[in-house]
Copies of this chain bind each other. A is one copy, B any other.
């Protein structure tokens, strides 16, 4: 018999995959339990509500994203100006890989969940918004470092990072709507042209 930690992990892993491939509402407890090969009782033991599950799934998305993309892209071993480009390369590779495997561009799991749930689940909205802010701060800090080292002209790093992040999310959405990862390949590099000047 599998131990509790294993059951917990299998439920989360199944939910993460199923929700990313379709949507929050379209994935039922039954489907998650079948994919994870666990009983409904075990599911409700760990996740009394679907909101509990969703909040835990968002954490799993973030841990995966950190391990597979963020840590490598925002490494201090790269020059600040190289970090965004590495981030884009890794994000494009991941979306292209999923597209090859499933036939679909699945887009950003956080963006998908926030467009679906933001108006009716405040806890989910706030959690995703917090992760968006974290990503934005990674971009901002790299821009600031690039300005400090003279790699970039001074600019409004806070607003520019927010604009760059919005552009990234918009391209993920457009790639999903086109079902074509080439949208990312062609247009993500333009992110580094976005500049919000300092207010005077």
Enumerate chain A interface residues (CB-CB to B < 8 A).
21-26, 102, 104-107, 111-112, 114-120, 125, 128-129, 132, 159, 162-163, 165-171, 173-174, 176-179, 183, 186-187, 190, 193-196
Contact = CB atoms under 8 A, between A and B. Distances in A.
A106 to B, nearest CB: 6
Interface centre among A22, A107, A166, A173 (most CB of B within 10 A): A166
A158 to B, nearest CB: 10
Interface centre among A22, A165, A173 (most CB of B within 10 A): A173
A115 B116 contact: yes
A22 to B, nearest CB: 5
B173 A117 contact: no
B117 A177 contact: no
A173 B173 contact: yes
